[in-house]
Amino acid sequence: MSPGATVLDRFRLKSPIGELMGYVRDGALCALDFGDRDESNRAVRERRFGVIDVREAAAALEAQRRLEAYLAGDLDALDAITVDPGGTEFQARVWAALRRIPPGRTISYTELAATVGSPAAVRAVGTANGQNPVPVVIPCHRVVRSDGTLGGYGGGLDRKRWLLDHEKARRAERGHPLLRG
């Protein structure tokens, strides 16, 4: 271990949307990457934490288990994952609002901007959404364009579509109504 380094406990999870790499610090999920983006996002983690020592550790298993449960159909499993995404005060407001969007539902960037009390900051909300270091758990995939089309997603539109379809199908199985389809 490097002296003064931040220790991040990592887990790897094979999923229908590709390999997920999660990073836990002090019991909170601080980063989640798609395996094909993990290396490119390393610089983001290093900017936040400085020198990092990564270890495969049991401390990350709880977040991994809850993600596995979500992917298996327990949409509420993500709510129990403690997150520490860092970020600015504005980003924290956006990311907290994202966590309040129920699974299987979507809102527009315009609606999200109004929700965080900054109705004119649609572009800033989009930027914060795109800089989310804990996708899936902080469900940035639930934000769509005003016309209902998917828009962008850092993990790719196929992953965004899969996540939304997964949530809608599970909600339908449980008989929950959807706001948008």
- For residue 144, CA distances in Å to 18, 33, 141, 155, 164 come to 22, 21, 8, 14, 11
pLDDT means per 10 residues in the chain (181 residues)? Answer: 85 94 95 82 89 87 95 95 96 97 95 96 95 96 93 89 94 63 42
Kindly name the residue from 24, 125, 140, 163 that is annotated as catalytic. Answer: 140
Residue ranges and CATH numbers for the domains of the chain are 6-80 (3.30.160), 89-173 (1.10.10.10)
- Give the span between the Cα atoms of 176 and 181, in whole angstroms: 12
Check residue 181 and give its pLDDT: 42
Prediction pTM value:
0.91
Alpha-carbon distance of 66 to 61, in angstroms, equals 9
Give me the helices (H) in 1-119, please.
38-49, 61-71, 89-99, 109-115
Question: What would the two tokens of residue 134 be?
Answer: 């804990």
Q: Would you call 140 a catalytic residue per the annotation?
A: yes
